[in-house]
């Protein structure tokens, strides 16, 4: 295929992915998976260009339309033109925060940081001036964070091993197992170290939740909203592969991915259960030493990795998340046995989902004694935003 034609195909592929994400509400990874299947034998460079361009345009969507001087559109040719405008002016978008010249344009901050007006106002109402700092901190992409699998290797040994594969890392202060990848690596999933189960990709903030939970070998643990199991795997490593972890989720496909990851990591203490009915968890009531609820939320602490979530933040979606959080707390708190620990976590920075939700739960459940809580901020901790809180069940 001639280079000019290949380039045109690439731009159209990015446009298609953007239509799926911003027009249909799909996640970027799923949109890219669908789009790439329509291409004829795309190479690694093709895939990389399409994926990176898609994420970048999502990240700067509103600001790009403003600079281009055109009204936002989901029409394919209009998006292709916008992508070309972005590529022609790429240098001004590689910065993590706007420079003084851009700020002096007196643009509304919502435009500068590419947020819908409703999302901007929600953040201001929740966090006041802090919202601007957190938007600035999440304006650019995040460096990859790895979690060393200490069941197989120590963090220092992994650092040296990755050097031999030209992957340069350094420790992250939030978790003893966390490593920050220092330079651009095209595929961390294809390294020999990954194939051997020596590390997982996991944000340092997410790793901090597992340490905050403070699991010990031999515990009976329930990971109530396990998903693909990043925290379940970390808990298993902290428990030295001794004890029993029951990973619950409504998605059978995510739990199947967890089982694959567990085999690669050498973890054998995780049992997965699909929540198809109340039977999946009712028999667990009063049996767990530790219950972790990594609750569904707006994901406002993960915009560096998931920029599409900016466009989903509406009052109705926030209210829906709050109702779901109340429900999962009511549902899974009873699984904690007397003397056991309940941990509630979100990847949000909004108080309504975090300490306010937690305080409301404690008010209605006085037999849980609060122990500790912590908020991680992208602007302060160089990680995704996370809230975590724990309490002991007294009776």
User: How confident is residue 187, by pLDDT bands cut at 50, 70 and 90?
Assistant: confident
Strand order across the beta sheet in which 169-171 lies: 169-171, 178-181, 145-148, 199-201
pLDDT of res. 206? 98
How many whole angstroms separate alpha carbon 17 and alpha carbon 20?
5
pLDDT digits (tens, 9 = 90+) for 120-179: 999 999 999 999 999 999 999 999 999 999 999 999 999 999 999 999 999 999 999 999
DSSP bridge pairs for 179: 146, 171
Residue 38 has pLDDT above 90, yes or no: no
pLDDT digits (tens, 9 = 90+) for 223-239: 999 999 999 999 999 99
For residue 120, the SS3 value is helix
Cβ atoms 198, 153 nearer than 8 A = yes
For residue 196, the SS3 value is coil
**Does the domain formed by 145-201 have CATH 3.30.70.1170?**
yes
pLDDT digits (tens, 9 = 90+) for 190-248: 999 999 999 999 999 999 999 999 999 999 999 999 999 999 999 999 999 999 999 99
Strand 145-148 to 199-201 pairing = antiparallel
Cα 305–chain centre separation: 6
For residue 372, the SS3 value is strand
DSSP bridge pairs for 291: 222, 342
Q: What pTM does this model have?
A: 0.93
Q: Which of 41-50, 76-85, 233-242, 361-370 has the lowest mean pLDDT?
A: 41-50
Catalytic residue among 225, 321, 347, 383: 347
Are 145-201 and 209-393 equal in CATH topology? no
- Indicate if 347 belongs to the active site: yes
Closest CA to 29 of 305, 323, 297, 246: 305
SS (H, E, C) 124-177: HHHHCCHHHHHHHHCCCCCCCEEEECCCCCCHHHHHHHHHHCCCCEEECCCCCC
Domain 209-393 CATH (choose: 3.90.76.10, 3.40.50.150, 3.40.50.450, 3.40.50.280): 3.40.50.150
pLDDT digits (tens, 9 = 90+) for 319-335: 999 999 999 999 999 99
User: How confident is residue 91, by pLDDT bands cut at 50, 70 and 90?
Assistant: low
How many whole angstroms separate alpha carbon 111 and alpha carbon 353?
25
The structural domains of the chain, with segments of one domain joined by +, span: 3-137, 145-201, 209-393
Q: Which of 95-99, 168-172, 363-367 has the lowest mean pLDDT?
A: 95-99
Mean pLDDT of all residues belonging to the chain: 93
> How far from 255 is each of 223, 226, 246, 247, CA to CA, in Å?
12, 8, 11, 8
């Amino acid at each position: 295929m001639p280079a000019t034609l290949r380039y045109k195909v690439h731009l159209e592929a990015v446009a298609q992915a953007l239509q799926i994400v911003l027009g249909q509400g799909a996640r970027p990874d799923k949109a890219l998976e669908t789009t790439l299947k329509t291409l004829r034998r795309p190479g690694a460079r093709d895939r990389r260009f399409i994926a990176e361009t898609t994420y970048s345009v999502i990240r700067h969507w509103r600001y790009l339309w403003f600079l281009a001087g055109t009204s936002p559109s989901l029409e394919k040719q209009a998006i292709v033109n916008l992508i070309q405008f972005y590529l022609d002016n790429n240098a001004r978008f590689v910065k993590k925060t706007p420079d003084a010249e851009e700020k002096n344009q007196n643009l509304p901050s919502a435009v500068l940081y590419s947020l819908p007006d409703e999302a901007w106002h929600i953040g201001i109402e929740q966090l006041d001036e802090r919202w601007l700092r957190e938007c600035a901190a999440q304006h650019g992409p995040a460096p990859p964070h790895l979690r060393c699998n200490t069941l197989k290797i120590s963090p220092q040994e992994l650092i040296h091993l990755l050097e031999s594969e030209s992957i340069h890392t350094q420790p992250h202060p939030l978790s003893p197992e966390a490593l920050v990848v220092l330079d651009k690596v095209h595929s961390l999933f294809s390294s020999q170290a990954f194939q051997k189960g020596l590390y997982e990709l996991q944000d340092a903030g997410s790793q901090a939740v597992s340490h905050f939970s403070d699991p010990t070998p031999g515990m009976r643990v329930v990971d109530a909203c396990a998903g693909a199991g990043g925290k379940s795997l970390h808990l298993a490593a902290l428990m030295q592969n001794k004890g029993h972890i029951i990973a619950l989720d409504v998605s059978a496909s995510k739990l199947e991915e967890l089982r694959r990851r567990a085999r690669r990591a050498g973890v054998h203490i995780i049992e997965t259960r699909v929540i198809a009915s109340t039977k999946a968890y009712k028999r667990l009531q009063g049996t767990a030493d530790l219950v972790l609820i990594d609750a569904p939320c707006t994901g406002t602490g993960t915009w560096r990795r998931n920029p599409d979530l900016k466009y989903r933040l509406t009052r109705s979606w926030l209210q829906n998340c709050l109702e779901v959080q109340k429900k999962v707390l009511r549902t899974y708190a009873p699984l904690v046995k007397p003397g056991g620990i309940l941990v509630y976590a979100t990847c949000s920075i909004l108080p309504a989902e975090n300490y306010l939700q937690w305080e409301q739960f404690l008010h209605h459940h006085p037999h849980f004694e609060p122990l500790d809580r912590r908020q991680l901020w992208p602007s302060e901790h160089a990680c995704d935003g996370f809230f975590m809180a724990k309490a002991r069940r007294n009776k």
